[in-house]
């Protein structure tokens, strides 16, 4: 059911992109938007992992460079029965982690130096389990494509806004609603794209938390790790950007007040509550913080 929901939301995001293209440039704008969407999908599929890793200056490591991290990743991926992904460390004190790659045969798990400093091995295993769950569910690709579309819709909305100011683009018989339509697209489209992206990300985060808890048998360790990462004073010092925030295990951006309504991550309290409920479903290994 969750996969069907995500598929529907991805189709809605693409349809919104094409619709904004139509508002901005009429039928020709719609065709251009559709072609651009296909190009973005191709680029996201083949190059998203390289772009994200370079953006965060992630460095691939070998076992001898960080035995504890490598050991945990190997243990979790063996349990999940997937190929060993690239293991990368991000030079940042902000505690966070993410997975990227187009499939389980071309995947990477990256953690920050700050996260390695504050988590014990069981908590680290819970976080790695969460990221491996994203690899199993192909969430990295979905999240990257969603972020790409959301960013492109924002660019089209800016074009629509300037078009409304200067009276629209294209010939009069190809404009849809003139300046009013352009202005509506400039205001409504980014909000709709943000809501769709948020819905995709939140569904994926809940599922990854649950899969990690079941796979490692330590849902309370993950709950403890999430709390530590969220409460860290360095959480929002991550040198990233809004477009890739949905890839992180905890939101590196501010999520207070109205901003929390549009957060790509579920509320911390809800995530911890679900993990605590999961711990009651089966006799998992006891975990002492």
CB atoms within 10 A of CB 267: 13
The answer to whether 113 is a known catalytic residue is no
CB atoms within 10 A of CB 93: 16
**Contact criterion met (CB below 8 Å) for 100 and 52:** yes
Angle at 55 between CA 34 and CA 133, to 5 degrees: 80
CA distances from 23 to 80, 163, 164, 195 (A): 46, 10, 11, 20
Catalytic site residue from 65, 131, 227, 269? 131
Question: What tokens were used for 178?
Answer: 């003139």
Give me the residues paired with residue 177 across strands.
Answer: none
Runs of H (alpha helix) within the chain = 2-55, 67-80, 113-118, 121-136, 139-165, 178-216, 219-231, 268-281
| Alpha carbon distance, N-terminus to C-terminus of the chain | 35
Selection from 208, 70, 207 nearest residue 126 by Cα: 208
User: Which positions are annotated as active-site residues?
Assistant: 131
């Amino acid at each position: 059911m969750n996969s069907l929901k995500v598929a529907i939301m991805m189709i809605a995001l693409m349809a919104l992109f094409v619709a904004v293209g139509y508002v901005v440039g009429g039928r020709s704008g719609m065709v251009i938007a559709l072609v651009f969407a296909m190009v973005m999908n191709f680029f996201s599929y083949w190059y998203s992992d390289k772009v994200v890793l370079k953006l965060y200056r992630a460095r691939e490591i070998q076992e001898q460079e960080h035995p504890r991290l490598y050991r945990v990743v190997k243990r979790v991926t063996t349990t999940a029965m997937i190929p060993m992904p690239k293991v990368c460390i991000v030079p940042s004190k902000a505690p966070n982690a993410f997975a990227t790659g187009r499939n389980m045969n071309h995947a990477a798990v990256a953690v920050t130096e700050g996260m390695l400093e504050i988590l014990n091995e069981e908590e680290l295993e819970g976080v790695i389990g969460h990221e491996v769950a994203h690899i199993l569910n192909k969430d990295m690709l979905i999240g990257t494509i969603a972020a790409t579309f959301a960013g492109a819709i924002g660019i089209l909305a800016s074009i629509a806004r300037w078009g409304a100011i200067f009276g629209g683009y294209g010939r009069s018989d190809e404009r849809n609603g003139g300046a009013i339509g352009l202005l509506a697209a400039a205001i409504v489209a980014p909000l709709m794209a943000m809501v769709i992206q948020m819905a995709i990300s939140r569904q994926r985060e809940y599922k990854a938390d649950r899969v990690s808890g079941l796979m490692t048998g330590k849902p309370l360790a993950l709950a403890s790790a999430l709390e530590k990462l969220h409460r860290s004073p360095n959480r929002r010092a991550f040198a990233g950007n809004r477009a890739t925030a949905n890839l992180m295990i905890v939101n590196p951006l501010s999520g207070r007040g109205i901003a929390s309504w549009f957060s790509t991550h579920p509320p911390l309290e809800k995530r911890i509550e679900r993990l605590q409920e999961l711990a009651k479903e089966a006799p998992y290994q006891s975990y002492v913080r």
